[in-house]
Amino acid sequence: MLDTWRWWRGILIAFGLVAISRLFIPLPFLNEVLIFSIYTIGCNFLLGKVGFISFGQPAYLAIGAYGTAFYLFYFGTNPYIGILVGLASGLIFSTLVAPMFVRLRSDYFALVNLALAVIIFYMMQKVFAGITKGDNGLWFLASIASTPLLDLTKPSDFFTFSLLVAIALWAFYKYIDGTIFGACCLATKINETKLQFLGYSNFRIRLIAFVIANTSTALAGSLYAVYLGSVSPEITSPARTADPVVVTILGGVGSLFGPLVGTIAYTGLRDVISKLIGNWEFFIGAILVIIMLTNSSGLYGSAEALLKKLVNKLKSQAEKQVLK
Amino acid sequence: MDGQLLVSGVIFGFSLASIYFLISIGLSLCFGLMRIISLDQLLYYSFGAYITYTVTTITGSFWLGVLCGVIVGGLLAFFVERAIFRRIYERELTFSMITSFGVLLGGIGLIKFIWGVVPRPVKTPFTDQIVLIGTEIPAYRLLVILIAGLVYLGIWLFLNKTIIGKAIRAGIEDMNHVEGLGINVTRLFTITFVLAASLSALGGALYAPLIIVDPSMGLEVLAFAFMVVIIGGLGSIKGTLISAIIVGQVVSIGSLIYAPLAIMAPFAMMLVILLIKPTGLFGSKLTK
């Protein structure tokens, strides 16, 4: 019982804070934060645990979003089934491309993913313009049916739903970290040869990790689709390909709550700075360079280290007093 | 498709290839020598175009603008190299990729701060047409092709005939030996980086009259620059030239056949080439 509580403690506290902050932070911002952090955690996993840097996450985001959009626009009205369709299309798509991509070296991997994002962009914008309505995008907000229990057309219910999804996803990634598979992922990043020597297939581990990460990215895409009620090619535009990487670095690579903290900082900075000066790229870029140069572990990573130091200090002080 | 269209398409493709070549040669040189992926080359490209715009509007002389653009691009690169890249040469590739993306993003913010977000048009220096095989072709495009050709020749001579160039080529093969020969590697890196940035800035300056200059022009061309480098193979200069020509022609002639596919075709081609030969056409097996 105590162990279970300990395991869940971090996740529940973090998302409990998000839930409480609803009282004084506007709902659209929080919804954006939740979806974006789900979007980023896949990239965080790839970069932090498997050593793949991907500049093409929007491709998978778009696959999930368009999967949901096609279902809701052409076939059905139930948003839950729509999200499942988006998830399934993400799973199928990433399984299809994974065998080709995971063979590549890390730098080529980044660039090929970037290329994939651009291909998807042009496909959605031009080639399949008949189905995707080109630049205008698909609009289906009115056709999403209200469902009992959690009505996803209401922002407040959507918030509850995405909070639950995020908690489940974080628990899933935390669970993976603790399994042998998680250890293998880390090993394939650090020492391929040794892992091979131990009898594991690097290719297979990378393949599974790639599929897991990009399916969760696709999930974020389908959440976006349901939340906004529309999808346009803008979602995978070449100018936004590096967003998840930036957020991952900002939050702290490989840490569990890095994506959440990074997203809050990124979205917050973007909103605040663009309101005040209207020039947020400069600050985000400068922060990114500073984090990389000072070799710090991002916002969450540094905060975690500081917290640990503080706790240790308090503990040692308490011990000293006891000794006295 | 008639002959005139084809001729103008081919010339258009070559001029596009020239610009791609000028931008990606910097990426390729930086990777080959320093083993960094320098996304901020696209920043010097944008700066080259913007400085050209400003100087051209003030003085009225386009070529002075190009000169200033190249100089400012090089100077900017010099400071960035001194302040940032010097510290990260030893790190892995992904590290430089992220840092340089930060520089690119910050630089775009700076551009928005200085010039605003409104796209700026640059006047073409001359609008003469030249008749070639019965087709009228803008002389400026031919001039761009000529300049790119001269740059290739110049780089070839620089790398093969001068001592610094030879050191750079040796460095691409084996950095440790070059260091062992007593050559100042730090200075070599600075020279290469500034050279690469100046060429990117030249690309931006020459491209400015053909497009409309806007803050995100670097991000738009990023994917193409990468594609050229990847198809050619990271670190190979000959490969960069050939793949720039291939990509330029595919985009140009492809758009005559079926426009929506034209921009996508090179990406699909890149995927296929990478699947067959994961190091690109002329890439060597470089590892860090």
Model confidence pLDDT, tens digit, residues B99-152: 888 888 888 888 888 887 788 887 777 777 777 676 777 788 888 889 889 998
Return the bridge partners of B121, or none: B212
ipTM surpasses cut 0.90:
no
CA A321/CA B6 separation, integer angstroms? 88
Chain B residues lying within 8 Å of A282, measured CB to CB: 105-106, 108-110, 112-113
Pick the closest to residue A262 from A292, A235, A288 (CA basis). A288
> Which residues, listed in sequence order, are joined to residue B132 by a DSSP beta bridge?
B135
Q: In terms of Cα–Cα distance, which of B37, B23, B19, B14 is closest to B235? A: B37
CB-CB under 8 Å, A110 with B94:
yes
Tell me what the mean pLDDT of segment A88-106 comes to: 87
pLDDT band for position B284 (cuts 50, 70, 90): low
Q: Distance between CA B94 and CA A243 in Å, rounded?
A: 15
Q: Report residue A220's pLDDT band, with 50, 70 and 90 as the boundaries.
A: very high
Q: Per-residue pLDDT tens for A230-284?
A: 888 888 776 677 788 888 888 888 788 888 888 888 888 878 777 776 677 788 8
- Cα-based angle A118, B240, B1 (whole degrees, multiple of 5): 65
Convert the pLDDT of each residue in A58-67 to its tens digit.
889 999 999 9
Q: Do B53 and B44 touch, CB atoms closer than 8 A?
A: no
Mean pLDDT for chain B overall: 82
Closest Cα in chain A to B269? A115
* Res. A134: pLDDT tops 80: no
> Per-domain residue ranges for chain B?
3-276
CB distance A209 to A45 below 8 Å: yes
Average pLDDT score over chain A: 84
CB spacing of B223 vs A238 below 8 angstroms: yes
Binary contact (B105, A292; C-beta < 8 A) = no
- Cβ atoms of A170 and A15 within 8 Å: the answer is yes
Task: In whole angstroms, give the CA distance from residue B90 to residue B96.
Answer: 10
| C-alpha distance from A303 to closest chain B C-alpha (Å) | 21
Q: Which candidate from B95, B107, B227 shows the least CB-CB separation from A292?
A: B95
Nearest-neighbour CA in chain B from A221: distance (Å): 22
Q: What residue type is A253 in one-letter code?
A: V
Q: Which CATH architecture has domain B3-276?
A: Orthogonal Bundle (1.10)
What's chain A's Rg over C-alpha atoms?
Answer: 21
Whether the predicted pLDDT of B265 surpasses 70: yes
- Indicate whether B288 pLDDT > 50: no
**B87–A293 C-beta distance less than 8 A:** yes
What DSSP string describes A268-322? HHHHHHHHHTS-HHHHHHHHHHHHHHTT--HHHHHHHHHHHHHHHHHHHHHHHHH
- Chosen for mutation from A288, A290, A293, A294 (greatest number of chain B CBs closer than 10 Å) is A288
Among A59, A57, A37, A38, which Cα is nearest to A47's?
Answer: A57
- Choose the mutation target among B82, B88, B89, B101 for the interface with A, i.e. most A CBs under 10 Å: B101
Residue A37 has pLDDT above 50, yes or no: yes
DSSP string spanning chain B? --HHHHHHHHHHHHHHHHHHHHHHHHHHHHHHHH----TTHHHHHHHHHHHHHHHHHHH--HHHHHHHHHHHHHHHHHHHHHHTGGGTTTS-HHHHHHHHHHHHHHHHHHHHHHH-SS-EE---S---EEEETTEEEEHHHHHHHHHHHHHHHHHHHHHHHSHHHHHHHHHHH-HHHHHHTT--HHHHHHHHHHHHHHHHHHHHHHHGGGSEE-TTHHHHHHHHHHHHHHHH-TT-HHHHHHHHHHHHHHHHHHHHH-HHHHHHHHHHHHHHHHHH-TT-SS------
Task: Write out the two tokens for B252.
Answer: 């140009």
> Which domains are delineated in chain A?
2-323 (1.10.3470)
pLDDT attached to residue A86 = 92
- Is there a contact between A283 and B102 (Cβ–Cβ < 8 Å)? no
Is the CB of A239 less than 8 angstroms away from the CB of B99? Answer: no
Contact check, Cβ <8 Å, B109/A285 = yes
The token duo for B77 is 């690169």
- Does residue A323 register a pLDDT over 80? no
Q: What is the pLDDT of residues B164-205, one digit of tens each?
A: 888 887 877 777 788 888 888 888 888 888 988 999 999 888
| Min Cα–Cα distance to chain B from A253, Å | 12
Please compute Rg for chain B using Cα positions: 19
Spatial separation of the C-alpha atoms in residues B225 and B25, rounded to whole Å: 9
The pTM of this model reads 0.82
Residue B162 pLDDT > 80: yes
Residues of B in contact with A114 (CB under 8 A): 222-223, 226
Probe site for chain B from A289, A293, A294 (most B CB atoms < 10 A):
A289
Number of neighbouring beta carbons within 10 Å of residue B177 = 11
pLDDT digits (tens, 9 = 90+) for B196-251: 899 999 988 888 888 888 887 877 788 788 888 888 877 778 888 888 898 888 88
A119 and B264 in contact by Cβ < 8 A? Answer: yes
The CA-to-CA distance between both ends of chain B, in Å, stands at 48
Residues from chain A contacting residue B109 (CB–CB below 8 Å): 279-285
Residue B287 reports pLDDT greater than 70? no
Which residues on neighbouring strands pair with residue B131, listed in sequence order?
B136
Could you tell me if A289 and A245 are in contact, meaning their C-beta atoms sit under 8 angstroms apart? no
Would you call A51 helix, strand, or coil by DSSP? coil
**How many Å from the N-terminal Cα to the C-terminal Cα in chain A?**
36
Distance CA A277, CA A281 (A): 11
Euclidean distance between CA atoms B79 and B111, whole angstroms: 17
Backbone angles phi, psi at A51, to 5 degrees: 80, 20
Q: What are the backbone dihedrals phi and psi of residue A323, each rounded to the nearest 5 degrees, phi first?
A: -65, -40
